[in-house]
Amino acid sequence: MTGFRDEYRRKLISAEEAAGLVKSGMWIDYGAICGFPSLVDAKLAARAPGLRNVKLRAEHSHTQLPGIDPDQEHFIHNSWFLGKVERDYQKNGACSYIPFGLSEGPRMYREWLKDEVDITFIEVTPMDENGNFNFGTAVTRQKAACDVARTVVVEVNEHQPWVYGGYDEVVNISQVDYIVENREYKIPEFPTPETAEEDRIIAGFLAEQIEDGATIQLGVGAIPATVGKLLIKHGLKDLGIHSEMFNDSMMELIEAGVITGKRKSLNPGRVVHCFAAGSEKLYKYMDRNPVLAGFPVDYTNDPYIIAQNKKQIAINSALRVDLRGQVCSESVGTRQISGTGGQLEFTRGAYLSEGGKAFICLHATRRDSDGQLISNIVPTLLLGDMVTVPASDVSHIVTEYGMVNLKGKSVWQRVKALIYIAHPAFRDDLEKAARDANFITKGTVNLDY
């Protein structure tokens, strides 16, 4: 241990010195989500006037950089998945999206970006007696970034929980070039989304589809979070978790005895995930908790791994669905809202699972900026909409007006099924648009789907 401590002291630098490693023209990679290096980011923002064309890759970041550089004179910000902060930057032209499927992350670094990472800055736990730093709440693709970066800088934060893992959940001090100690910032918290009545209705439909012994994945948003809470009331037993995200509702399910993992066919008894996003209480709960298993995302989100769980349930949210069943969950036209994430991967994995089911959930309507009611089930997607889940992969679609399964359905059947779960005020217009597009043909006008 003494040798590791000596090496630690030799590699310890200030956050200002770490930020000083960045030179104009470099590619810089930040740790994902709660692996975000808050202190280094703040010091790097202060250096903006002296830098040009620094290219940054991040994910769900709280970075200050585009905020102090809206014209991108100093920093070119790129994001794998936009959170609230980066969404605002993208709207103003200060952040670009990187399209990819979440499970590709480690391979993306080790194969396609292996010569394009000058420095990676990643938030980690304090070092253990074996010289290891744990990636804590964000295993994701952090180790892969460390494997290829020319310079590895870890930002140590005592608030980062040590999360037991499957593999690639730690980086050894021998692979680290510099160490920064962050005593100023806690790791980011993500409040539980507010629940609307529509969310509770949709969650009720979903809870009825989940059986004892099922393994669940809950995506981002109010609907999946509401489902988690509702499962406690439904008296389900021995559920398991295999998910990309671990959140507060899952913690509550474990504490309520609903999640035991006893009947999981893969990793029984373990809550498999690759990152966490939630409250400080959640992060404290995760610290050295033997129930949890943090894996890199090429394991958690591989559809063929997911499919090894019997009765795998995937529950994800969408922005819009068109009448042929194409799902947009990440953009409004050309404005990026989030990212593809693992939605397609879990949709495919759950479908391949024995007894598994994949659900795409959305409110039937929304209000636009003028307060007008707009249908989220549309004849065709908007110009510029990203297709997150192709029509060929979609099965169950759920709104507050019901649930339909589109698998095996032709276009006219899909149209009628989706109109059935659309808001009543828009059903006639949707049917007219479907007829005009020949989605509903003359011979199918009077047929039930």
Would you name the residues annotated as active-site residues?
244
Q: Do the beta carbons of residue 294 and residue 169 sit within 8 Å?
A: yes
Q: Do the beta carbons of residue 77 and residue 59 sit within 8 Å?
A: no
CA 198 – CA 227 distance, rounded (Å): 12
| Beta partners for residue 93, in sequence order | none
Angle of the 222-233 helix axis to the 197-207 helix axis, nearest 10: 60
CA 180 – CA 16 distance, rounded (Å): 9
Retrieve residue 341's tokens. Answer: 């994430």
Retrieve residue 365's tokens. Answer: 């309507």
Q: With CA atoms as reference, report the closest residue to 290 among 377, 161, 414.
A: 161
CA 442 – CA 294 distance, rounded (Å): 54
CA 119 – CA 91 distance, rounded (Å): 27
Question: Within 13 Å, how many C-alpha atoms sit on residue 79's CB side?
Answer: 31
Q: How far is CA 414 from CA 79, 98, 138, in A?
A: 34, 31, 38
Backbone angles phi, psi at 32, to 5 degrees: -80, 145
Q: Which helix (H) or strand (E) holds 276?
A: strand 275-276
CA 162 – CA 182 distance, rounded (Å): 16
Buried b (16+ CB within 10 A) or exposed e, 380-399: ebeeebbbbbebebbbbbbb
